[in-house]
Amino acid sequence: MEQTISSTRTLKAKTYILLFLMIALGSVGNTILDKGMKSLGPIDFSTRSAVWQGILHTFTNGTIWLGICCMLLFMVCHMLVLSWADYSFVMLFSAITYALVPLLGYIWLGEYVPIARRIGIVLIVFGVFLVSRTPPRTTQPISDRSLS
């Protein structure tokens, strides 16, 4: 019994740590990519050679590679957490990013947040809270399944 409780705790702990990393890496990666793209200035799409010059600039930019690295690490965390946790749990939990982006915009940049968006943010946070009340894993692990 004790062992079950402690393994449930470990499972919860590692799930939340990885979800936190995932959300952090995903948001930071996206922001860095956005920043990198903006630092390049608007890409000229008028001629094909200009587009290819754009591609060259994009992939020789350190900031963009940093963003790509963050996104790759995000993917690694995503894969690892899915090796035990439910997809429906991970998918819903990571939706918190959609609330964080406008929220951080409000806190850091003082952006105006209209009423509909405020309600939306509250709903997302509440939804994630509900999901966190459910167990991260509801299926049997493969090793147990083959034994049964």
Partner 1 sequence: MRTALILSFVVLTGTCGEISLTHAMKQIGEVQHFSPAAISRVLLHSLRQVWLWIAVGLMGVSFYAFLTMLSWYPVSFVVPATSLAYVTGALGAKFLLRERLSAIRWAGVACISLGVALAWADPMPSLPHLRNLYILLREVVFVAALAPLAFYLFSGWAAWRFFRHARAQALGHATDFMPPVSILKPLHGLDRGAYEHFASFCRQKYPTYEILFAVRNENDPAVPVVRRLIRDFPRIPIRLLVDQDRKGTNDKVGKLCLMAQEASYPLLVITDSDVRVAPDYLRSVADIFRDPRVGAVTALYRAMEAPTFGAEMDTMGSLSFSGSALVARELEGLKFTMGSTTAITGERLAEIGGFAPLLDMHSDDYELGRRIAQKGYRVELVPEPVEMEFPSESLHDYLRHELRWLIGLRHVRPGGHFGLLMTQGIAWTVAAAILASSWTASAAWVSAYLIIRLLSGYVIGVWGLRDPVVRRKLWLLPLHDLFWFFLWLVSFSVNRIEWRGLVFTLEKGRMIPVESRPQGA
Distance CA 144, CA 82 (A): 17
Q: Which amino acid, 26?
A: G
Distance CA 110, CA 22 (A): 26
Shortest reach from residue 50's CB to partner 1, in Å: 11
Taking a C-beta distance cutoff of 8 angstroms, is the pair 78, 90 a contact?
A: yes
User: What is the tally of helices (H) and strands (E) in the chain?
Assistant: 7, 0
Q: Out of 33, 71, 108, 110, which residue is the one contacting partner 1 (CB under 8 A)?
A: 33
Token reading at 126 = 């509440």
Residue window 7-26: x/- pattern of binding to partner 1, with contact defined by CB under 8 A: -------x------------
Shortest reach from residue 35's CB to partner 1, in Å: 9
**Burial of residue 68 (number of CB atoms within 10 Å: 0-12, 13-18, 19+):** middle
Site for partner 1 in 83-122 (CB under 8 A): 83-84, 86-89, 91-92, 95, 98-99, 102, 105, 114, 116-117, 119-122
Is residue 70 a contact residue for partner 1 (CB under 8 A)? Answer: no
Is residue 43 a contact residue for partner 1 (CB under 8 A)? Answer: yes
Nearest Cα neighbor of 85 from 48, 148, 135 is 135
Q: Out of 51, 69, 104, 107, which residue is the one contacting partner 1 (CB under 8 A)?
A: 51
Taking a C-beta distance cutoff of 8 angstroms, is the pair 101, 27 a contact?
A: yes
User: Which residue, 24 or 37, has its beta carbon nearer to partner 1?
Assistant: 37
- Contact positions vs partner 1 (CB under 8 A): 14, 33-34, 36-38, 43, 45, 48, 51-52, 54-55, 58, 76, 78-80, 82-84, 86-89, 91-92, 95, 98-99, 102, 105, 114, 116-117, 119-128, 130-131, 133-134, 138-139, 141-143, 146
